[in-house]
């Protein structure tokens, strides 16, 4: 049933009938306004806003068919119920054809009239709801097309390449920047098989793994690829779509490509410059170091105490400069992929023991206890010289950053297909915000207790480069003022 507070305009030329219906409808909760003919009804329509009209067909001055025609033009949303006698039913049918909502024949019961009013009002409400739904759908489609055009404009104006791939490994969206980076001049339709645009097997394999759900939905894969003369950084991530069985599922991949060719060229220029400068500096520093050694050994004459002190200071500075130069050369070799010279079956335990024996006098002098433990050791394919440099760096750092009375523990054990080596100290620790930066070149942790510790800031960068060159990984965990643990995983020989 509809809301009985609705306003009804009752138009009929028979006053007793009109007044009687008004009383009955008012008693049922309706608000009723009456009119004795068509002209009076038009005057009321201009002042009132009824929700429904009860309209007699046969009336003097202006008949119901004329009023219906006028209302359908000026108030098309106003529902009309035609009231007719038995002799004029065919007239009521004509009114229905012209747009009236229903009709009721005289005489009628009040309950019959109310049911007709409710039915017409519900019908008109549903029609209005349907019309509103259609208008909302049109607005949604317009908004969707507007957003789509806006998104297309934004994508086409981006300097980075954009590529969206579906489950069939077809590119369904790309922008002009992508075509420039891939050095493709011809127009490509959509969809187009991904191999027609992407010629990197590495990137194609990554996209295939992503669309097949081989990686987590929130994972982002970053890699470098070559496209002609360009070096590109490709960042690939899954795209989600609705599915009948689950709410969301992977239905494709989006790849953003950035041209990093200028940065790679700049980095190569920097590496070449550092390499050249290091080589040019190394020879004269070595010569100076040798001359200082000759003087210190007294081969150029007897030295008094002050002269020997100055020469010792100069020797230490020359050694520090040589260490920096050697580190720079090592970094240049690592970046060029030429640092690992020879990989042979290597006993990690033996190298650790030799390094500990070499470092022990220095640790004892600083009041630090060194210890090492081994469990189920297996050989790894590695360059022994590189391995020695790794443990020299890590153990030396652990001693430098540990207070007097601290301990440094080195442990090696088999862990699946890897050898796990940990170097743990009880030193000052590293702040959490600085942990992601410690493997960066020239980066050194700032701490009031370690101001006296000197270094180039290249040691850990070299360690990371060497470990990764041996197909391993290195991680670090640290708690401020409690200590730091470096953990290395190196693949064992099958």
Model confidence band, residue 325 (pLDDT cutoffs 50, 70, 90): confident
* Distances 287 to 283, 321, 326, 395 between C-alpha atoms, Å: 6, 13, 15, 30
| Residue 163 near residue 254 (C-beta atoms within 8 A) | yes
Given this model, what pLDDT does residue 336 score? 63
The CATH superfamily of 158-259 is PAS domain (3.30.450.20)
* Distances 195 to 230, 231, 250, 258 between C-alpha atoms, Å: 17, 18, 21, 19
| Residue 278 near residue 325 (C-beta atoms within 8 A) | yes
Give the span between the Cα atoms of 301 and 269, in whole angstroms: 46
Model confidence band, residue 452 (pLDDT cutoffs 50, 70, 90): low
Q: What residues form DSSP beta bridges with 235? A: 222, 256
Going by C-alpha positions, the residue among 453, 484, 431, 479 that lies closest to residue 366 is 453
| Residue 82 near residue 96 (C-beta atoms within 8 A) | yes
Which residue pairs, CB below 8 angstroms and at least 24 apart, start in 362-370? 362/399, 363/399, 363/408, 366/399, 366/402, 366/404, 367/404, 367/405, 367/406, 368/399, 368/402, 368/404, 368/405, 368/406, 368/407, 368/408, 369/406, 369/407, 369/408, 370/395, 370/399, 370/407, 370/408, 370/410
The pLDDT of residue 1 is above 50: no
Backbone angles phi, psi at 126, to 5 degrees: -65, -40
What is the pLDDT of the chain when averaged over all its residues? Answer: 83
Pairing of strands 369-375, 407-415: parallel
The pLDDT of residue 487 is above 90: yes
Largest CA distance in the chain: 146
Question: Any idea which of 338-342, 427-431, 485-489 has the lowest mean pLDDT?
Answer: 338-342
| Residue 227 near residue 182 (C-beta atoms within 8 A) | yes
**66-87 average pLDDT score:** 81
pLDDT tens readout for residues 199-257: 888 899 988 888 887 777 667 888 888 888 888 999 998 887 766 555 667 788 899 99
Given this model, what pLDDT does residue 101 score? 82
Handedness of CA 448, 454, 459, 461 (dihedral sign): positive
The pLDDT of residue 420 is above 90: yes
| Residue 401 near residue 427 (C-beta atoms within 8 A) | yes
Q: Higher pLDDT residue, 31 or 99?
A: 31
Query: SS3 helix, strand, coil % of the chain, rounded to 5?
Result: 50, 25, 30
**257-284 average pLDDT score:** 79
Max mean pLDDT range (122-131, 297-306, 370-379)? 370-379
CATH of domain 344-491: 3.30.565.10
* Distances 219 to 70, 207, 234, 300 between C-alpha atoms, Å: 66, 12, 14, 67
pLDDT tens readout for residues 2-20: 445 788 889 888 888 888 8
The residue count of the chain comes to 494
The DSSP symbol for 476 reads E
Give the span between the Cα atoms of 67 and 46, in whole angstroms: 13
Q: Name the class of domain 7-131.
A: alpha beta
Cβ neighbours of residue 247 closer than 8 Å, sequence gap 6 or more: none
The DSSP symbol for 146 reads H
| Residue 425 near residue 484 (C-beta atoms within 8 A) | yes
Give the containing element (helix H, strand E) for 290.
helix 261-296
Give the containing element (helix H, strand E) for 10.
strand 7-11
Give the containing element (helix H, strand E) for 52.
strand 52-56
Write the DSSP assignment of 379-393 as a string of letters: -EEE-HHHHHHHHHH
Given this model, what pLDDT does residue 2 score? 46
Residue 328 is encoded by which pair of tokens?
């720079």
The DSSP symbol for 214 reads -
pLDDT tens readout for residues 380-415: 888 888 888 889 989 988 888 888 888 999 999 998
Given this model, what pLDDT does residue 328 score? 72
Strands (E), 313-406: 344-346, 369-375, 380-382
Give the span between the Cα atoms of 250 and 216, in whole angstroms: 10
Given this model, what pLDDT does residue 409 score? 92
Give the span between the Cα atoms of 31 and 50, in whole angstroms: 9
Give the span between the Cα atoms of 138 and 200, in whole angstroms: 43
Q: Angle between the 348-365 and 384-400 helix axes, to the nearest 10 degrees?
A: 30
Quickly count: other Cβ atoms within 10 Å of residue 256's Cβ: 17
Q: What residues form DSSP beta bridges with 486? A: 423, 476
pLDDT tens readout for residues 155-203: 888 889 999 998 888 998 888 999 998 888 888 888 889 999 888 888 9
Model confidence band, residue 431 (pLDDT cutoffs 50, 70, 90): confident
Query: Of all residues in the chain, what percent carry a pLDDT higher than 70?
Result: 91
Given this model, what pLDDT does residue 245 score? 58
pTM of the model: 0.47
Residue 15 is encoded by which pair of tokens?
């006053």
Give the containing element (helix H, strand E) for 255.
strand 248-259
Give the span between the Cα atoms of 170 and 322, in whole angstroms: 56
Cβ neighbours of residue 45 closer than 8 Å, sequence gap 6 or more: 9, 71, 74, 75
Model confidence band, residue 290 (pLDDT cutoffs 50, 70, 90): confident
């Amino acid at each position: 049933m509809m809301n009985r507070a609705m306003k009804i305009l009752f138009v009929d030329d028979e006053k007793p009938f009109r007044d009687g219906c008004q009383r009955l409808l008012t008693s049922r909760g309706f608000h009723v306004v009456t009119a004795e003919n068509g002209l009076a009804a038009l005057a009321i329509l201009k002042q009132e806003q009824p929700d429904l009209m009860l309209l007699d067909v046969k009336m003097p001055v202006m008949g119901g068919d004329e009023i219906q025609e006028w209302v359908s033009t000026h108030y098309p949303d106003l529902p009309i119920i035609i009231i007719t006698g038995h002799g004029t039913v065919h007239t009521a049918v004509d009114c229905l054809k012209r747009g009236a909502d229903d009709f009721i024949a005289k005489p009628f019961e009040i309950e019959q009239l109310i049911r007709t009013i409710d039915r017409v009002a519900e019908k008109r409400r549903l029609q209005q709801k349907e019309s509103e739904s259609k208008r909302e759908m049109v607005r949604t489609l317009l908004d969707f097309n507007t957003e789509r055009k806006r998104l297309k404009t934004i994508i086409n104006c981006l300097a980075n390449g954009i590529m969206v791939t579906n489950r069939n490994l077809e590119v369904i969206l790309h922008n002009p920047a992508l075509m420039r980076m891939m050095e493709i001049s011809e127009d490509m339709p959509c969809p187009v098989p991904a191999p027609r645009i992407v010629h990197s097997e590495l990137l194609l394999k990554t996209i295939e793994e992503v669309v097949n759900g081989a990686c987590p939905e929130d994972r982002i894969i970053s890699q470098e690829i070559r496209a002609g003369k360009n070096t590109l950084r490709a960042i690939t991530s899954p795209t989600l779509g609705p599915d009948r069985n689950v709410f969301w599922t992977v239905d494709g991949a989006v790849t953003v490509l950035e041209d990093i060719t200028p940065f790679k060229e700049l980095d190569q220029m920097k590496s070449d410059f550092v390499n050249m400068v290091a080589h040019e500096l190394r020879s004269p520093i070595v010569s100076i170091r040798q001359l200082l050694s000759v003087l210190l050994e007294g081969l150029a004459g007897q030295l008094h105490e002050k002269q020997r002190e100055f020469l010792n200071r100069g020797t230490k500075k020359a050694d520090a400069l040589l260490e920096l130069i050697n580190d720079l050369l090592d970094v240049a070799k690592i970046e060029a992929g030429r640092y690992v010279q020879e990989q042979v079956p290597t006993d990690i335990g033996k190298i650790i023991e030799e390094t500990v024996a070499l470092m022990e006098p220095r640790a004892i002098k600083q009041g630090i206890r060194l210890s090492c433990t081994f469990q189920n050791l297996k050989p790894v394919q590695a360059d022994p010289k590189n391995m020695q440099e790794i443990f020299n760096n890590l153990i030396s750092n652990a001693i430098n950053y540990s207070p007097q009375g601290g301990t440094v523990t080195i442990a090696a054990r088999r862990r699946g297909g890897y050898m796990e080596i940990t170097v743990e100290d009880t030193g000052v620790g590293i702040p959490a915000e600085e942990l992601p930066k410690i493997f960066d070149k020239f980066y050194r942790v700032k701490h009031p207790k370690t101001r006296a510790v000197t270094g180039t800031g290249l040691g850990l960068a070299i360690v990371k480069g060497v470990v990764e060159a041996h197909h391993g990984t290195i991680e670090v965990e640290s708690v401020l003022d409690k200590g730091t643990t470096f953990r290395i995983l190196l693949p064992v020989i099958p």
